Structure 1
Amino acid sequence: MARSLRTHQRRILGVVRAIASGEAAGLQDILAAVTPGGGKSLLPVLAASELIRAGVVDRVCWVVPRDSLRLQAEEAFADGGWRTELGHSLSVRAADNGPDPCRGLAGYVTTYQAVAAAPELHMREFASHRYLLVVDEIHHLPALSDAEPSGQVGEGAWALEREASWSRALLPMLELARVRLLLSGTLMRADGRPILWLPYGKGTSDRTREVDLHASSWAVVGYSRAEALREKAVLPVTFGAVQGEASWIEPDGPAVGPHSLDADYETTRPALFTALRTEFALQLLDRAFDETRMLRAERRRRLGLTAKDGGKGLGKLLVVAPDQAQARRYLDHIRGRLPVARRLVDARLATSDERDAQETLAAFRLLPEPACLVTVAMAYEGLDAPSVSVVAALTHIRSRPWLEQMIARATRIDPHAGPVEEQRALVFHPDDLLFRAFRRRIETEQGTVARRPKENRGQKLPDWLKQELEEEGRHGIVPLSSNATGMRWENLAAGPTLQVGRPQANEPSPLLDGLPTSPDAPTPSSLERRLRHQVGEMVAAQAVEDEAALRAPRGDGTYHRYNAVLKRVMGKGRGLMTLAELEATVGWLERNRLAEHLHLVEGDPRYAHRARRVSEAERRRLATEGQGALDASKAQAEFWRPPVGKPDARAKRG
């Protein structure tokens, strides 16, 4: 069933149309404060399609905080349904820091980390073309005037310095961009500092600043959770608040507890630290697992599926752990409750130490399996996985932006799960005082305030002593035991509406009912990988065929020589080719033989493989004599010299 764009999407469309028509020619900054899960991914597509069509900008650059979001951003432009409904033909590619990041397309997607690693590359690109710059989750970027750690040590200071490096790298791009679209699900940072580039005014209390939602030359578009719930853009949230108690040993020796998680603020932190590492965490995990299993069984019954049948729309469980050691422990516990044949399929781990973490995230997001994902922080922000219905929030973090993003993983509407009215997000969490305070804030306060960091007064402690005190505060207690004592259900209130101006727009034509979960057409970067692989296979096939037909000597590096020939013919290596160039290369290889063009590498010592090949005996000798002999050998001669072999037996007889 077709429907219109959502409220915030119509507002953004109205703003960019005003810029494109010249009515708001002086407007360059658009801030979209969209509740997590409300649908920010379409906004860059709307803005780029209008502004490029009108000739206001030439290209679009979309910067995201995580590598997994880079591919999701690319999919937003490749989605076939939206391409048809919006009438756009733009494509962007998930780029690395190689030259020419657009490769003939309308733009590219990169990460904060990539920009900080090669700022000159992106600066040159912005200096050469008029860009629409989209900065996703801009709350990660601290204002540079407030980015100094001020004597802090440890993980917090390191994280701030890392984010400050992102701000320093992105600031010139912000200044050079023709139009800027800044996206975020929250307008406040966890550390209370202001956000880069946003306009601030004096707050309602001392030492606070608040985002100026009515700043001149800015268009601020808000989309609160209350509006999203009214439009059925997100799901309502039910909390399973698990009560518990914990016992631990203090750094000075005495045992403490059992203390309830909600006893008082003095004991909440150590009690929570203990609970997440002992029995309480596994009991909460069991409740979330059982609820997920009952949900999947109910949806199977409704869809007429058997217990062995898989498919989309059944619901999934996301487990957020406090650290990687506990994540592996939680994974083992969940797998222990699964049938042996399904353990490795249904439950997976995605942490920064896992080599296949990105593949696991993609499978969890797009495929029916796995049904359970355990992570620490990789999947808490921006993960577009509508199949997540249950979240086990086994994390010690209690900052508002972090928890809002984590909860939003379950609030996306699953188009395969039946009527929206029958869907609900379920979040299990420890019932501690800090989580209750977080709930009160998101239900009653707009998150737009920045607090100035307190200045250090008095004598400063040495850095080594600060480090020891910090480590003692974090790891000083020894967890003993914990227990879940009860649970209560609570519904999250809709929360306040962001009070901003509401730009009007002409009502666009009806669109599809909801964002598709995956693109109908492959993304540019996946097409590039596929074509590069195809070119490699075609070169290898010609090399094997020519060796078999004795048109090329066997084992003489034919594949590498043929690759060199192809590079000469096409003018560049396939790693630097655009999609059109890769397609042309495939067509050329279908009609031509590389063996007929070997004259292009004649006389080039880099590809004279026989003249450079060292015998195995020589390799063993150099390895035995050590790296010094190898270096000396390289210094003595530029070209390879044949090893001294055995004397000719016929010469001896003569």
Structure 2
Amino acid sequence: MGGSPRYRRPGPDRAPSRDSQAGRVPAGWRHGRPSQRRGVLSTAHPPFRAHQRTLRALVAAIASGEARDVTDILAAVTPGGGKSLLPVIAAAHLIPAGRIERVVWVVPRDSLRLQAEEAFADPVWRRALGHAASLRAADNEPDPARGLSGYVTTYQAVAAAPGLHLAEARRHRTLLVVDEVHHLPMPAARRGEEPDDDEAGAWSRAMRPLLAAAACRLLLSGTLERADGRRILGLPYHPASAGAPPMIDLDAPGLAVIGYSRAQALAERAVLPVNFGALDGEASWLEGGRAAGQSRVGPHRLSGGGVRATTRPALFTALRTGFASDLLSEAFHATRRLRARRRRERGLGAGEAAPGLGKLLVVAPDQASARRYLAALRAWMPAEQGERDVRLATSSAQDAAGALAAFRLRPEPAVLVTVAMAYEGLDAPEVAVVAALTHIRSRPWLEQMLARATRVDPHAGPYAGQQALVFHPDDPLFARFRAELEAEQGHAARPRPDRPPSALNPEREVWRDDDPGGITPLESNALGLRYALLRPRTPEPARGAGAAGIAPVLVEPPSLTERALRQRLSAQVAAQAVEDEANLRLPRGGSLVHRYNAVLKRVLGKGRATMTLPELEAALAWLERNRLGDHLHHLEADARYAWSERQRRGRWMPERVAGR
């Protein structure tokens, strides 16, 4: 993962460097230090990382016209390095300058929408950048921005209503933020290519016109490669050559590239060092069809002993039999020891909840295994504690989104079991331990999983006292992945000189992530555990960078504020209906709450489901001053209510009640 940022901040008397691996500067663009443009930030703010400082300088140059030709920014940032702040930085410069009017941020899954909202709502960064932009999580309803600076949506939503989002991009000068752009394969275009029938292909077909309509594009990824070897939508490539992987054209017109490697992130203390707990074992399984008879194979060591043919079936068996329980137990008890130590250091009681104690993320190979792991973890705790502390987040689990949100934002639950929902983009700094019970060995996937535990936790004490602990099977493919990280951090032989930076690395060897067919797992067990700590080559942080010393402030993103205001409106409408029935102003029976909701909609001119934040606040203020029962005449023109309202006015008058 070596390499420098594509844009380097220059010294006071020189322009940015331009070399094949360090960066490329648009023709004619020269920029000074960020402090010369925006002023020096107060030391009370968290430090900007190298890629964030570089982007600030770049978008300032775009805003001022010095880099007016740049329309595409590619940010290749190591997982966990802090991509979520980049759209905020871009919007903070480009909206006031009039270069864009709206931000549309597209994420690969629904669970990431709230995190995107939080990035714009964070009060610390609002002060640091001097911006007032807000985004809301939107579905495919009309006016998705609702008067704000933009909205966050998903690839699935764009694919379901491409015309809606395309019309929004054409109606406003839009900064389109494509998060984890590697999810979008280049659609089939040449003759003889098979059409894209999978979900990712549908996303690409829907996103392609949106990319073309946007005024500016910010493409984000921690792994600029696809396991299937296909090109990525929106990126320029060199002409294909036989036998060579796709190569991104870094010199394409209008493209600016910003890189941030794991080595740089470690040097700036933006991510944590990793301690790998490699657990070796042996496994036995049956091979062959039922008709021909099955034969027992093994036991074979996971570490392989150089026998690559047995690696996949041995791993498949181990993750579904006794070995998985052994690895899960190691991770579980390591998490318990970590939480107990941090409780002692803070003087907390055994059952006292507090942030920063450390959490465990369990990544399972499939949903059936995830449910087994969940049951095993809960069995190791008292029943009530197990139900509270261990949650499941899979696509088929009820309230998976709620489990993810609770795991991210609350001291409890302390353990989350998942398959793929939480491996990419999950911003949960309290994750300190990962149980990597997955058969997937493609490098981008492993880097994303690793990054769940490498975020610095501001509640966990000094940076020097934190590290990520990852337990994994000791198979040759994971060992190769770990060796590459060691090489790129300077602890082993350097990679080949022609190897590009990590975020642009093509996978040299394709690893099949599907399950091996024709085998029946029998048994497995653990043999031995060994640790390997990967520390940065330069232990001292870069000057001006340090551990994040400011605890994050809990903020309420716009979509949650909207939901709370709608709930308050519903409560006030229901309260007025109950009061009017209790005071005999209106007869009991029927749905008075339903009628009052209809009155409110006609008085205000629109339903609260489509109201903006100011409109919702105005509706609450109106309800505090008015009674809905005094405005029922608005329903007389509605055929659904006209007859009942005429009957009510003729048979149930307040003066009749008073004369009883």
Cα displacement (A) at 1:211: 1.6
Partners of 1:28 and 1:218 within 8 A in 2 = yes
Q: Give 1:254's aligned amino acid.
A: S
Shift in CA distance, 612/450, structure 1 to aligned 2, threshold 3 Å: farther
Secondary structure, counterpart of 2:452 in structure 1: helix
Aligned residues of 1:62 and 1:109 also touching (Cα < 8 A): yes
1:262 equivalenced with 2:296 (yes/no): no
Partner of residue 321, structure 1: 364
8 Å contact kept, 1:345–1:370: yes
Q: Is the contact made by 2:429 and 2:455 (CA closer than 8 Å) also made in structure 1? A: yes
1:210 & 1:349 partners in 2: Cα distance? 39
The residue type paired with residue 308 of structure 2 is: Y
Does the C-alpha gap of structure 1 residues 436 and 512 become closer, same or farther in structure 2, counting only changes over 3 Å? closer
Partner of 1:600: 634
1:527 to 558, 561, 578: 561
Check conservation: 1:80, 1:520, Cα contact below 8 A: no
* Structure whose CA Rg is larger: 1
Change (3 A) 1:304 1:122: same
More divergent stretch after superposition (602-611 vs 107-116): 602-611
* Partners of 1:146 and 1:194 within 8 A in 2: no
Instruction: Give the superposition deviation at 1:403.
Output: 0.8
Could you say if the C-alpha distance between residues 149 and 90 of structure 1 is closer, same or farther in structure 2, counting changes exceeding 3 Å?
farther
Q: 1:275 & 1:214 partners in 2: Cα distance?
A: 47
Say which of 469, 489, 506 aligns to 2:531: 489
Pair 1:448-2:485 in alignment: no
> How far does residue 145 in structure 1 lie from its aligned partner after superposition?
3.3
Q: Counterpart of 1:387 in structure 2: which amino acid? A: E
Alpha-carbon offset, residue 517 of structure 1: 6.6
Tell me if structure 2 keeps the 8 A contact 1:208–1:449: no
8 Å CA contact 2:76–2:504 kept in 1: the answer is no
Q: 1 CA distance for matches of 2:624 and 2:223?
A: 53
Q: 1:351 to 1:206 in 2, by over 3 A?
A: same
**Partner residue of 2:460?**
417
Q: When the two structures are aligned, how many residues end up with a matched partner?
A: 579
Shift of the 511–535 alpha-carbon distance from structure 1 to 2, 3 Å rule, reads farther
**Which residue of 184, 187, 195 corresponds with 2:221?**
184
Q: Is the 8 A contact 2:636 2:645 kept in 1?
A: no
Query: In the alignment, what sits opposite 2:570?
Result: 536
Task: Give 1:495 shift.
Answer: 9.7
State how far apart, in whole Å, the 1-side matches of 2:243 and 2:135 are. 45
Amino acid at match of 2:324: A
Is contact 1:209-1:451 (8 Å) kept?
A: no
Deviation at 1:202, TM superposition (A): 5.4
1:461-515 CA deviation, whole Å, 9 max, x = no partner?
xxxxxxxxx99x744211110011112212347699xxxxxxxxxx9xx999639
Please give the root-mean-square deviation of Cα atoms over the aligned residues, in Å.
2.7
- Give TM-score scaled by structure 2 length: 0.83
- Show CA shifts across 1:345-375 (max 9, x none): 1111111111211111111111110111111
1:368 alignment counterpart: 411
TM alignment of 1:196-207, pairs within 5 A: 196-201=233-238, 206-207=243-244
Q: Which residue of 2 aligns with 1:462?
A: none
Structure whose residues are more often helix by fraction? 1
After TM superposition, list the pairs within 5 Å mapping 1:190-339 onto structure 2: 190-201=227-238, 206-252=243-289, 253-263=294-304, 264-339=307-382
**How far apart in 2 are the matches of 1:286 and 1:452?**
34
Q: For structure 2, which runs of at least 5 residues remain unmatched after alignment?
A: 1-42, 489-494, 648-660
Structure 1 distance, partners of 2:192, 2:274, is 36
Distance 1:552 1:326, change over 3 A: same
Match of 2:518 in 1: 476
Structure 2 CA distance for partners of 1:72 and 1:265, relative to 1, 3 Å = same
- How far did residue 97 of structure 1 move? 0.7
Q: Residues 537 and 375 (structure 1 numbering): CA distance in 2 closer, same or farther, change over 3 Å?
A: same
SS at match of 2:228: coil
Paired position in structure 2 for 1:401 = 444
- 1:563 deviates by 1.1
In the TM superposition, what is the alpha-carbon distance from 1:541 to its structure 2 partner? 1.1
For the Cα contact (< 8 Å) 2:230–2:246, is it kept in 1? Answer: no
Equivalent residue runs for 1:636-647 within 5 Å: none
Structure 1 length as normaliser, TM-score?
A: 0.84
Quick one: structure 1 residues 314 and 205, their matched pair in 2 at CA, closer, same or farther if it must change by over 3 Å? farther
The share of aligned pairs that are identical, in percent, is 61
> Which secondary structure state, in structure 2, belongs to the residue aligned with residue 145 of structure 1?
coil
1:103 partnered with 2:146: yes
Aligned pair in 2 of structure 1 residues 382, 479: CA closer, same or farther (>3 Å)?
same
1:550 pairs with one of 584, 595, 605:
584
What residue number does 1:42 align with? Answer: 85
Structure 1 position 190, deviation (Å): 1.5
Question: Mind listing any 5+ residue stretches in structure 1 that lack a counterpart?
Answer: 455-469, 497-506, 614-654
Amino acid at match of 2:172: H
One-letter amino acid of the counterpart of residue 246, structure 2:
R
Change (3 A) 1:271 1:573: same
- Distance change (3 Å), C-alpha of 1:447 and 1:49: closer
Displacement of 1:453:
12
The one-letter code matched in structure 2 to 1:37 is G
Alignment-derived partner of residue 582 in structure 1 = 616
By how many angstroms is 1:336 displaced? 1.3
Partner residue in 2 for 1:630: none
- Would the alpha carbon gap of residues 391 and 511 (structure 1) be closer, same or farther in structure 2, given more than 3 Å must change? closer
- 1:607, distance to aligned residue in structure 2 (A): 2.7
How many Å separate the matches in 1 of 2:186 and 2:633? 58
Counterpart of 2:178 in structure 1 is 135
The DSSP-based 3-state class of the residue aligned with 1:200 is coil
Matched residue of 2:392: which SS?
Answer: strand
Secondary structure at the residue paired with 2:208? helix
Q: CA deviation at 1:31?
A: 0.5
1:564 aligns with 2:601: no
CA distance in 2, matches of 1:453, 1:560: 62
Q: Secondary structure at the match of 2:112?
A: helix
Taking the aligned partners of 2:272 and 2:596, their CA distance within structure 1 comes to 56
Counterpart amino acid of residue 489 in structure 1: Y
Deviations 1:524-568 (A, max 9, x none): 111100111111111111111111222212112211111111111
Determine helix, strand or coil for the equivalent of 2:168. Answer: helix
Residue-by-residue CA offset, 1:171-198 (whole Å, 9 max, x unaligned)? 1111111111110001111211111111
Cα 1:195/1:148, change in 2 over 3 Å: farther
